Amino acid sequence: MGALGASSFLSACASSASGPTTSNGSGAVTIQSNLSSPQAKAAMEKLIETFNAQGKGTASLNTIASETFRTQLPTYLTSANPPDLYTWYAGSVANDYASKNLLLDVSDVWKSLGDYPQSLRTLSTDASGKQIFVPMNNYWWGFFYRKSNFAKWGVQEPKTWTDFLALCETLKSKGIPPIGIGLGDTPWVASAWFDYLNIRINGAPFHRELLAGQQRFDDARVKAVFTRWREALPYFDPKGKAYPFQEATTALLAGKTGMFLIGTFFADAAPKDALGDLDFFRFPIIDPAVPLAEEAPTDGFFASAKTANPTGTRALLSYLSGVEAQEAYVKASSGIVLPANPRAKASDSPLVVKGKAMLNEAKELTQFFNRDSSDALQPTADTALTKFIDKPDQIDAILREWQAGAEKVFKG
């Protein structure tokens, strides 16, 4: 036992001796990645391999469990010797770090991204007007359903809110819970309903102001959102409160619910043979006068302001935002994602074509509740929305509490 301990001790010494000197001067650029699902991880590994083979610099990939990554990201960024590049979300979450001077100015990289849409450029720009984020891809949210089930039930995709409620009524009369949801463990899924109703009724600008603390949650306009939601509430699957969205996916695929408002990532939880049978429709229009907005969470990269190798980091970012890298990533990762580079081809499955067309039609894109506000505000929404689904009568009190909770978050 003693001898074994001593020899392992020595080898521990040998293996960790190279540890602390990972990023000095012009050494390899380290990417801290939260893409830990096997397919996404493999896709990233392949990209880095290609980059290293090109000889413009070297990079090393560091994949961390996404949940660990989320909690440790502030520690990584504020450490004395931080990793160079990080996978993360665009929008106010990135701008938050930028306002603390933790992010590298990547305006240089953006000079070669002239053909990116203005919406992505605005999204990647911080309060002081410099770009701090490079988008990699985005995806969309919608009401997903099985084509074969809709055909069996003899129903069509609805366009307007009235159509939608009529569809729910039809499904309910056939004994199928019309709207699937999964709030156990994943209560944030309910925020999609809030986001969508708000951008359909009050528009995206109001939604952003609300999430930035410039409007109040106990406003009459916010209450109007919940008045609409109440019309659809009787059609929610009552079992949805108990299980997470992954199981809600299973329920949808088994025909135990009619449709499901969810992001495209849910398809990763679907068996391969069901993928071809999936289709979706856009969140129904409520007020045609409100400019059309869609949720399109954008993922990508930002870099640490303290990187020892800014040139190498920018070179890697330029590579990652290029057509070749983005197409390779879309192809290798199983998720249904759209490349950020407008010249990069997305997968040509009918689902992706439809999703891309829907986003192109939208006048405005929003990210998602937590990405448009902060991870700190998300729990206040989770509490308020789950309470509303349980006790819709108490909406006034719920909104007052939400406002009080939000004020605490905004005060910091």
Partner 1 sequence: MNKLRTGAFHTGMILLSLLWLGPVLWVVVMSTRSFDDIAAHGVGSLPRSFTLDTYRQAWTDGGELRALINSMLVTVPSVALSLGLAAMAAFALSRFRIPGRRTILLLMLAGNLLPPQILLIPVAKFSELTGLYDTLWALIAVQVGFGLGFYTFVLHGFMRDLPGEIQEAATIDGAGTAQIFTRVMLPLTRPALAALGALSFTWIFNDLLWAITVLRTDDNMPVTPALLALQGQFVSSWNVIAAGTVIAAVPTVAVFLRFQRHFVSGLALGAVK
- For residue 390, the 8-state DSSP code is H
Q: In terms of DSSP H, where are the helices of 233-293?
A: 245-253
Stretch 214-273 residues interacting with partner 1 (CB under 8 A): 246-247, 249-250, 253-254, 263, 265-266, 268-273
**Smallest distance, partner 1 to C-beta of residue 108, A:** 27
Nearest to 226, CA basis, from 216, 213, 217: 217
Tell which one of 75, 101, 118, 173 touches partner 1 (CB under 8 A): 75
d(CA 20, CA 165): 60
Six-digit token pair at 405?
């909770």
Smaller CB distance to partner 1: residue 171 or 189?
189
**Smallest distance, partner 1 to C-beta of residue 158, A:** 26
Smaller CB distance to partner 1: residue 104 or 253?
253
Smaller CB distance to partner 1: residue 188 or 410?
188
**Smallest distance, partner 1 to C-beta of residue 378, A:** 15
**Smallest distance, partner 1 to C-beta of residue 42, A:** 8
Q: In whole angstroms, how large is the CA radius of gyration of the chain?
A: 23
d(CA 298, CA 284): 22
Smaller CB distance to partner 1: residue 68 or 160?
68
List, as one string, the DSSP characters of 99-151.
HTT-B---HHHHHT-TTS-HHHHHHTB-TTS-B--EEEEE--EEEEEEHHHHH
Q: What is the dihedral of CA 26, 28, 33, 35, to 10 degrees?
A: 140
Q: Which helix (H) or strand (E) covers residue 408, if one does?
A: helix 395-411
* Count, residues near partner 1 per rule CB under 8 A: 53
| 32 scored as a contact of partner 1 (CB under 8 A) | yes
**Smallest distance, partner 1 to C-beta of residue 66, A:** 4
Kindly tell me the burial class for residue 4, based on how many C-beta atoms sit within 10 Å of its own C-beta (0-12, 13-18, 19 or more). exposed
Kindly tell me the burial class for residue 232, based on how many C-beta atoms sit within 10 Å of its own C-beta (0-12, 13-18, 19 or more). middle
| 67 scored as a contact of partner 1 (CB under 8 A) | yes
Stretch that binds partner 1, among 5-13, 155-163, 301-309, 394-402 (CB under 8 A): 5-13
Stretch that binds partner 1, among 13-21, 101-109, 126-134, 352-360 (CB under 8 A): 13-21
368 in Cβ contact with 297 (< 8 Å): yes
**Smallest distance, partner 1 to C-beta of residue 44, A:** 12
Tell which one of 28, 29, 44, 63 touches partner 1 (CB under 8 A): 63
d(CA 334, CA 280): 18
Plot region of 328 (φ>0 → left; ψ -120 to 50 → alpha; else → beta) = alpha
Stretch 96-115 residues interacting with partner 1 (CB under 8 A): none
| 308 scored as a contact of partner 1 (CB under 8 A) | no
Residues 176-215 as x/- pattern, contact with partner 1 by CB under 8 A: ----------------------------------------
- Please list, in sequence order, all residues whose beta carbon lies within 8 angstroms of the beta carbon of residue 102, skipping any fewer than 6 positions away: 77, 78, 304, 305, 306
Tell which one of 24, 26, 38, 396 touches partner 1 (CB under 8 A): 38
**Smallest distance, partner 1 to C-beta of residue 370, A:** 13
Tell which one of 52, 62, 99, 170 touches partner 1 (CB under 8 A): 62
| 9 scored as a contact of partner 1 (CB under 8 A) | yes
Tell which one of 64, 252, 377, 385 touches partner 1 (CB under 8 A): 64
Q: From edge to edge, which strands make up the β-sheet containing 298-303? A: 59-63, 29-33, 85-89, 298-303, 134-138, 338-339
State the pairing for strand pair 364-366/293-295.
parallel
Binding-site ranges for partner 1 (CB under 8 A):
1-2, 4-6, 8-9, 11-13, 15-16, 19-20, 22, 32, 34-38, 40, 42, 62-68, 72, 75-76, 79-81, 83, 246-247, 249-250, 253-254, 263, 265-266, 268-274
